[in-house]
Amino acid sequence: MIVGGLLVIAGLAAVVWGAERFTDGALGTARRLGVSAFWIGAAVSGFEPENLVTGVAAAASALPQIALGTVIGSAVFLLTGALGLSLAIVPMAVTIPRAGAVAMGLALGAFGVALADGRVSRLEGVVLVAAAVALMGWLHRRSRAFTAAENDDDDDAPPRLRRELVLLALGLVALIAGAELVVRGARALVATSPLSETFLGMVVIGLGESVEETARMIVPARRGHPDLALGNVVGTVVVLLALNLGVIALVAPPVADPRVLAFHSPFLAACVVGVAAALGFARRLGRGVGVVLLAAYAAYLAVNVAMLG
């Protein structure tokens, strides 16, 4: 119990420290490179290496359905659980280009077309990867009007840029490592309690993911940079639905379970459309939106439990 508690505390501290360093590095990198904080959030914070590695490992182990599940489950959690919790704590002004919402819709469209026949082929995987790269490039061009002001001292740019990139990398590493410590600590706590394995799988393992994703959004939003936080949402959707699924298909083409086509994919589509519409037309996302998203995630979990039962 004591070791588990210490691991959770250490993990939370690492996540908070990492989120602060990541925010500093992302904003500094945006200034030095002359790009928008929104795009840095989409391209860097939105990149999901853990999900990609997990999905590829599952596909390589002849478990393509699990690989597909990592994509859908992570996207649903981001759009409902993580974003909902973040908004419930820190409401955000929508200060990102509408191209972000369009990119989410296009990524969803590519995902839907590829999965329409219940299988994602290697050729479709190539198209999905190309679509992800094209969408990120398009987002970069469309976000130029939101570019952060450049530092006036151009002679200091190289060393300063190195410093910002180091902060960015340290922040990401601390976020990932801290989330892993939280999961291990929580697992140790549950192992000494009468809680069920279902609780462990649904809540404890998700805790690490929620801590990391929520920190990536709350810290920049609290510091007055919701564009960085919402860029994470846009980028993650594009990366998960196009890039990660495409790479997984190149390793081992996944075949969707009938329940994926009947429930999980439509629910994911509703989440993407709803959040994209809010980002495209709303000026502010308040706590009420956060509560609705959290309720949607709770309902999703409840249906999953009922289906398993």
Query: What is the rounded distance in angstroms from the CA atom of residue 244 to the CA atom of residue 251?
Result: 11
The pLDDT of 246-264, averaged and rounded, is: 90
143-199 pLDDT, tens digit per residue, is: 877 664 434 444 445 557 888 889 888 988 887 788 778 767 766 766 665 544 444
Q: Give helix 157-191 / helix 2-33 axis angle, nearest 10°.
A: 160
The confidence band for 1, taking pLDDT boundaries of 50, 70 and 90, is low
Give the range among 174-183, 274-283, 293-302 with minimum mean pLDDT: 174-183
Query: What is the rounded distance in angstroms from the CA atom of residue 69 to the CA atom of residue 54?
Result: 10
For the chain, the maximum distance between any two Cα atoms, rounded to a whole number of angstroms, is 64
- Angle CA 257–262–265, to nearest 5: 80
The pLDDT of 277-286, averaged and rounded, is: 95
pLDDT, position 192: 63
Domain positions in the chain are 2-308
The confidence band for 245, taking pLDDT boundaries of 50, 70 and 90, is very high
Supply the pTM of this predicted model: 0.81
DSSP 191-205: HTSS--HHHIIIIIH
For the record, the structure tokens of 107 come out as 């990524």
Most confident of 199-203, 253-257, 274-278: 274-278
- Angle CA 293–294–299, to nearest 5: 95
For the record, the structure tokens of 258 come out as 């009938």
Displacement of CA 20 from its chain's centroid (Å): 17
24-36 pLDDT, tens digit per residue, is: 887 888 778 888 8
What's the whole-number average pLDDT of the chain?
Answer: 83
Superfamily for domain range 2-308 = NCX, central ion-binding region (1.20.1420.30)
Asked if 93 and 283 touch (Cβ cutoff 8 Å), the reply is: yes
3-state helix, strand, coil in the chain (%, to 5): 85, 0, 15
pLDDT, position 43: 86
How many residues make up the chain in this entry?
309
**Look-up: residue for tokens 């590695």?**
53
pLDDT, position 199: 44
| C-alpha atoms less than 13 angstroms from C-alpha of 73 in its C-beta half-sphere | 18
SS3 133: helix
38-80 pLDDT, tens digit per residue, is: 988 888 877 777 677 777 777 787 777 778 887 898 899 899 9
